[in-house]
Structure 1
Amino acid sequence: MSTQTSDWKTTPVGTIDTRATKPKPWWVKVLSARATQILILDVVLFIFFTVLTGGLFASLPSIQSLLLTGTEALLLALGLTMLLGAGVFDLSLGANLVLSSVVGATVMKAIVQPTLTGEPTGSLGGGITAGAIAAIATGAIFGLVNGLLIAYARMNALIATLGTLGIGMGLAYIISGGADLGGLPVEIQSGFGLAALGPIPLPTIIALLVAAVLYFIVRYTRFGMRTLAIGSSRPSAERVGIKVKQHLLRLAITAGALAGVAGLISIAHFAGTSINGHANDALNAVTAAVIGGTLLEGGRISILGTVWGTALAVILQGGLVMIGVSSYFQLMAVGIVLIIAVGLDGISYRRRQRS
């Protein structure tokens, strides 16, 4: 029987060389996954800051504060992750959150008017419900505008969302008169914003449920498959019959609605708006999605990676605050991590192209 030679062993012609096709052990796959690597880094950073703060960083109030801080960032990052999977970038999610919170708070205050004695007038439950609906609807409409510009007007996503970012922030300042809106019913804070199920804040549980639903969608539904197909090659997706414009519009509305939910959580957390408190939200969302393994070029989504990437950004910023590092250096740290993540993704992408 004739043989073909390799560098180290001969293999009979007509047989299959199982060395290249032998599956890796499950634990190798788990450890090599980006989400697992980010989770390990999260644990290391958490231990590091716990040691530096004498255990204070690991206290229950500190953990709950980190979870609440990360909830809004996670919702924005999840929306952005789905958009990036289809090759669409959105700079306006932070502005969407701010505008949604302002609209929601305005509607709430219009229905539930506090008196001098502190007792609200009007329908408390109706006012809170109407405000919640207004916040989420505002986010969805904001996303609808982005989707129409990107999918139907064929505008560059960066330019379109940069424009809507400015419009959204301008509208928020106009509606609020340039100042934060306070005086909301304390029930929204005690009953939702600061409420917890055991040790876990209720808003965080909602964000994790959203992550679980999106994980299922990406892994097991046609919607997830089509999202990845569009991100991999939009012309190819159109040729096989995927309605790309409609799909991108749905993704934009979904991301906008999630920003609206984040806006609702923001006003529930503070019992008012925090217009200037979300300046870094877009940076944190991008950092979480990219660090987690979602490709900027599209075609790959990692929901678990986004969850752990959000945790990384929150742990890093929270830990730096507790050890007394200036906020300027906190921004620099997150920016450096983002640049490293994008650089590593670029190297990985080029290697895949060569192979």
Structure 2
Amino acid sequence: MSTSPITQGIDDRAIGAVHPVVRWVRTRAAWILLFDIALFALFTALSRNHVFFSAANAESLLISVSQILLLALGLAMMLGAGIFDLSLGANLVLSSVVGALVMKSFQAVPGDASSYHDIPLAAVAGFLACVGTGIVFGLVNGLLIAVGKINSLIATLGTLGIGTGIALLIAGGSDVSGMPTALQLAIGLNTIGIVPIPAIAAIAVAILLWVVVRFTRYGMRTQAIGSSRVAAERSGIRVRAHLLSLTVLGGGLAGMAGFIDLARFGSTALQGHANDALGAVTAAVIGGTLLEGGRISIWGAVWGAALAIILRTGLVILGVSAFWQLIVVGAVLLIAVLLDRVAAVRRTRSARAD
């Protein structure tokens, strides 16, 4: 978990005397990881023939986690600066539709999924189209928030509807299929050992962002903006440009998740991402990233994304209704927010006592 800029300069010799394991156990990320393990064990015990522990289910979990994790990482970075994005699911869907249509343009015979004349080139073009669409989507959000000074919740609520509508229009109201089978075999369903390639890509992004948050000025400035935008501006940080870069980053990661969706299913999933924003915010917030900004927890987002997917998949395997799945995920999010409120009150009382 990253240290808030507010705590920079505080004498941490007493903290340094604490054993690293003890310090880690005290973090929200550690508790979420331990809860993930306990939940995994519980669903394994409750599932018929312990199917939850199977290699096939583990691979499915990791692929699903990779998509939610990419969204959660982008959202965590934005939350660190005090802005929100409700349109992540719509961005993913629109990006996947554009990427699918670009790939289909490489078919020698339109409509014939076996007639791709250059599959590697089609895959690269599709990936660039997905990420590029996501970046443009994120840039529009950024312009509305940073330049137009529209509240981020309102701005992204609007672009959620617009993005979803555009995706449905250009897809003709139905899913775009006919992706090359090799895309699934080489990327979407391929593994290195037992770890799917999409999961490896998502973890690589998490490591990169952890380094950014922990060791670079960009990460420090992101959290400084979330702690106090006015103070950040007075200290010389170009807040508007920084917010734009964060929304572009989040959009690009949503586009990457859209490409993973295509590589996984071989088609778009227009109706399959309505609750992605809920999953992403649950993962980010329960992992320790503050809703009001000022603190980012990259590894907390990783374990939070795993928690969201373990809950969802475990309830499916146990035959629990999809309606209850939404209730459980929503309840987990509320619990995470309440924990943050309690922690904030305690910090305020401690500061006053000092």
Question: TM-score when scaled to structure 2?
Answer: 0.92
Which residue of the other structure, out of 317, 330, 353, is the alignment partner of 2:348? 353
Cα separation, partners in 2 of 1:121 and 1:324, compared to 1, 3 Å: closer
1:143-199: CA deviation from partner (whole Å, max 9, x where unpaired): 000011101111100000000000000000000000001111111111111111110
Map 1:193-204 → 2, pairs under 5 A: 193-204=188-199
Cα separation, partners in 2 of 1:237 and 1:115, compared to 1, 3 Å: closer
Aligned amino acid, residue 131 of structure 1: G
Do the aligned partners of 2:94 and 2:163 also contact (CA within 8 Å) in 1?
yes
Are 1:236 and 2:218 matched, yes or no?
no
Shift of 1:113: 4.3
Which secondary structure does the structure 1 equivalent of 2:288 belong to? coil
The residue number in structure 1 matching 2:275 is: 280
Are 1:246 and 2:241 matched, yes or no?
yes
Cα separation, partners in 2 of 1:117 and 1:330, compared to 1, 3 Å: closer
Provide the C-alpha distance between the structure 2 equivalents of 1:115 and 1:327, rounded to a whole number of angstroms: 37
The residue number in structure 1 matching 2:7 is: none
Provide the C-alpha distance between the structure 1 equivalents of 2:112 and 2:91, rounded to a whole number of angstroms: 34
The residue number in structure 2 matching 1:328 is: 323
Are 1:153 and 2:153 matched, yes or no?
no
Are 1:175 and 2:177 matched, yes or no?
no
Provide the C-alpha distance between the structure 1 equivalents of 2:293 and 2:35, rounded to a whole number of angstroms: 25
The residue number in structure 2 matching 1:13 is: none
Do the aligned partners of 1:87 and 1:231 also contact (CA within 8 Å) in 2?
yes
The residue number in structure 2 matching 1:98 is: 93
1:95-123: CA deviation from partner (whole Å, max 9, x where unpaired): 00000000000111112245787631433
Query: What fraction of aligned residue pairs are identical, expressed as a percent?
Result: 55
Provide the C-alpha distance between the structure 2 equivalents of 1:21 and 1:108, rounded to a whole number of angstroms: 53
Are 1:260 and 2:261 matched, yes or no?
no
Do the aligned partners of 1:115 and 1:121 also contact (CA within 8 Å) in 2?
no
The residue number in structure 2 matching 1:4 is: none
Cα separation, partners in 2 of 1:114 and 1:66, compared to 1, 3 Å: farther
Are 1:135 and 2:147 matched, yes or no?
no
Map 1:207-218 → 2, pairs under 5 A: 207-218=202-213
The unaligned stretches of length 5 or more in structure 1 are: 1-19
Shift of 1:327: 0.6
Are 1:310 and 2:302 matched, yes or no?
no
Q: How many residues were matched structurally?
A: 337
Aligned amino acid, residue 181 of structure 1: V
Cα separation, partners in 2 of 1:224 and 1:117, compared to 1, 3 Å: closer
Shift of 1:26: 2.5
Cα separation, partners in 2 of 1:70 and 1:22, compared to 1, 3 Å: closer
Cα separation, partners in 2 of 1:121 and 1:25, compared to 1, 3 Å: closer
Aligned amino acid, residue 22 of structure 2: V
Which secondary structure does the structure 2 equivalent of 1:247 belong to? helix
Shift of 1:316: 0.6
Do the aligned partners of 2:65 and 2:306 also contact (CA within 8 Å) in 1?
yes
Do the aligned partners of 2:114 and 2:180 also contact (CA within 8 Å) in 1?
no
Which residue of the other structure, out of 29, 35, 39, is the alignment partner of 2:33? 39
The unaligned stretches of length 5 or more in structure 2 are: 1-13
The residue number in structure 2 matching 1:30 is: 24
185-194 or 124-133: bigger deviation: 124-133
Do the aligned partners of 1:80 and 1:255 also contact (CA within 8 Å) in 2?
yes
Do the aligned partners of 1:112 and 1:185 also contact (CA within 8 Å) in 2?
no
Do the aligned partners of 2:113 and 2:178 also contact (CA within 8 Å) in 1?
no
Which secondary structure does the structure 1 equivalent of 2:30 belong to? helix
Which secondary structure does the structure 1 equivalent of 2:201 belong to? helix
Cα separation, partners in 2 of 1:108 and 1:208, compared to 1, 3 Å: same
126-135 or 44-53: bigger deviation: 126-135
Aligned amino acid, residue 65 of structure 1: S
Provide the C-alpha distance between the structure 2 equivalents of 1:35 and 1:304, rounded to a whole number of angstroms: 6
Question: TM-score when scaled to structure 1?
Answer: 0.92
Cα separation, partners in 2 of 1:23 and 1:189, compared to 1, 3 Å: same
RMSD: 1.5
The residue number in structure 1 matching 2:8 is: none
Provide the C-alpha distance between the structure 1 equivalents of 2:83 and 2:61, rounded to a whole number of angstroms: 29
Shift of 1:354: 2.0
The residue number in structure 2 matching 1:165 is: 160
Provide the C-alpha distance between the structure 2 equivalents of 1:100 and 1:304, rounded to a whole number of angstroms: 26
Do the aligned partners of 1:114 and 1:183 also contact (CA within 8 Å) in 2?
no
Larger Rg: 1
Shift of 1:287: 0.2
Q: Which runs of 4+ in 1 moved over 4 A?
A: 113-118
Which residue of the other structure, out of 109, 117, 123, is the alignment partner of 1:122? 117
Provide the C-alpha distance between the structure 2 equivalents of 1:31 and 1:116, rounded to a whole number of angstroms: 55
Shift of 1:69: 1.0
Cα separation, partners in 2 of 1:21 and 1:219, compared to 1, 3 Å: closer
Shift of 1:66: 0.6
Shift of 1:131: 1.3
Provide the C-alpha distance between the structure 2 equivalents of 1:352 and 1:116, rounded to a whole number of angstroms: 60
